[in-house]
Chains A and B, each alone.
Chain A
Amino acid sequence: MPESAELYFNVDHGYLEGLVRGCKASLLTQQDYINLVQCENLEDLKIHLQTTDYGNFLADQTGPLTVSIIDTKMRKKLCREFEYFRNHSLEPLSTFFTYMTCSYMIDNVILLMNGALQKKPVKDILAKCHPLGSFMEMEAVNIAETASDLFNAVLVETPLAPFFQDCMSENTLDELNIELLRNKLYKSYLEAFYKFCKNHGDVTAEVMCPILEFEADRRAFIITLNSFGTELTKDDRQSLYPTCGKLYPEGLCLLAQAEDFEQVKRVADHYAVYKPLLDAVGNNNEGKALEDVFFEREVQMNVLAFNRQFHYGVFYAYIKLREQEMRNIVWIAECISQRHRTKINSYIPIL
């Protein structure tokens, strides 16, 4: 429905929107981060986290506390919240949630394919899969012998099927490098997600589309920069760029031809949004890393999403912000446990 979001949104999704805003209010603030940074060891960290919304999530943890335990427990907590949202959602919000889980599913599928092709035991791989991206046919993966078998038997049922069809023409699944496959899948996923949001129209489109455009352009920049010096050809590189961003089509052509960082920077200079970001990147060890600059911008856009009401973007933004918070906490925990405090303040502040 075009202009009637305010009228009809709350009927189906009002409860969930209220819930997610409440959860957003419990994200760690700058003061919390300052407290965490001053901890001496992981036990202190756990005590500080108990005062926040994380509560006693580590309470039943016996034995020595390690960073990976903290990471897994935080992820489980996030999954529980997400599952709750998802179970209470109606269409089209449920499709939106499915789209959100697709990116984790892509990672899991790549892992499973790799493992199945190398005849590794399925249980080990399942333990390593991201819980947000689990789908029903995951255990059936080990019956397949080759990758195309895998596709025809298992993946056809998942929401990832159309993405696979975009990438493959004639059963080229077997020869494709696993990283190229992952990036191609992600590109078709991003474009499909973008189309869905745009078709949904009104406030959701207004909020989600810029976020997804930024994600597409960010991937294009990073793929370009990381492919210098590798055996990735320019055509291959161009086929990995998602086309739903601001850089399409001229920027992507220019990026595909770029040979070094200076040329990439010149491409970014054409776009007012990206010029200041790439300018803020220093060389090597001084200044910020490009990834950090992109993270900050993403966090900024996600926080802004909460300024408008009656759209689905709040759920996407909340999950992304939680993930960033998890990354921050893990970073601080690693710095503390490795006693390497010089860079402990290079987490990305959220609020």
Chain B
Amino acid sequence: MLFQTKMLMGEVMREAAFSLAEAKFTAGDFSTTVIQNVNKAQVKIRAKKDNVAGVTLPVFEHYHEGTDSYELTGLARGGEQLAKLKRNYAKAVELLVELASLQTSFVTLDEAIKITNRRVNAIEHVIIPRIERTLAYIITELDEREREEFYRLKKIQEKKKILKEKSEKDLQQRRAAGEVIEPANLLAEEKDEDLLFE
């Protein structure tokens, strides 16, 4: 779109320069008259902001102000060519304004794209690997701890087993020595002498 506008700009400027030559042919040299009567600009530009995909772009809009102070130039000779010349250059100026808007938005968008690209690259190649590494570390740590826990449990079981064996042995020894009195077993079927009637 920008390319087409630039090509069109080339054409329009060429046309305008040629109509200047035509006007000079008929009206003589009016350049000094024009230069000396310059006071205020007739075509002015306003800048507005436009938001595209989150990027604020400046947009230029032209407006006319004041009257044409060159209306009577070329009254005696070449007025028609001068009018054509004014029209051509006005068209050229409008096209230039449009081109300016397009160019600035192009440059701004370009900047925005570059910034976004850099962020994407950074995230992709720096942040994510960092997090992944952290994840992997955490996982290894957890695995380690689990293994530690497991090992600890096993050790404790072994120790308990040894303790239990030891106390069994002890008990048997004391039983054999007759020092242990078996507590009464509620569940055993024994006759109770105190009972008279069965």
Which residues on A are within 8 Å of B, measured CB to CB? Answer: 110-111, 114-115, 118, 120, 125, 128, 177-180, 182-183, 186, 219, 222-223, 225-227, 230-232, 240, 289-292, 295, 327, 330-331, 334-335, 338, 340, 343
Contact = CB atoms under 8 A, between A and B. Distances in A.
B72 A291 contact: no
A232 B25 CA distance: 25
Q: Residue among A182, A222, A225, A338 with the most chain B CB within 10 A?
A: A222
A177 B17 contact: no
15 contacts: A125-B32, A128-B32, A178-B33, A178-B37, A180-B72, A183-B75, A222-B77, A226-B75, A231-B71, A232-B72, A289-B80, A291-B81, A330-B25, A334-B24, A335-B18
A227 B81 contact: no
Contact of B79 (A177, A180, A226, A340): A226
Contacts of B17: 338
A250 to B, nearest CB: 22
Contact of B77 (A120, A291, A334): A291
A156 B25 CA distance: 33
A223 B79 CA distance: 8
Interface string B65-84: 00000011111111111000
B14 interface: yes
Contacts of B18: 334-335, 338, 340, 343
B127 interface: no
A114 B69 CA distance: 14
A235 to B, nearest CB: 15
A191 to B, nearest CB: 15
Closest 6 CB pairs of A and B: A226-B79, A179-B72, A334-B21, A230-B71, A114-B36, A128-B32
Nearest to B26: A291
A32 to B, nearest CB: 18
Given A225-B79, A225-B80, A340-B18, A331 B25 contact: yes
A179 B79 CA distance: 12
Contacts of A289: 26, 80-81
Contacts of A295: 26
A334 B26 CA distance: 13
**Chain A interface, DSSP helix/strand/loop, else mixed:** helix
A335 B77 CA distance: 21
Interface residues of B, number: 23
Contacts, number: 74
Contacts of A240: 75
Nearest to B25: A331
Contacts of B33: 110-111, 114, 178
B14 A338 contact: yes
Contacts of A290: 80
Interface in B1-51: 14, 17-18, 21-22, 24-26, 32-33, 36-37
Given A290-B80, A340-B18, A177 B72 contact: yes
B76 A219 contact: yes
A163 B72 CA distance: 21
Contact of B76 (A120, A177, A222): A222
Contacts of A111: 32-33, 36
Given A222-B76, A335-B21, 17 more contacts: A111-B36, A115-B36, A118-B36, A178-B33, A178-B37, A179-B72, A186-B76, A222-B75, A222-B77, A232-B72, A240-B75, A289-B81, A291-B26, A291-B80, A327-B25, A331-B21, A331-B25
B36 A120 contact: yes
Interface in B152-192: none
Given A114-B36, A114-B37, A225-B79, A340 B72 contact: no
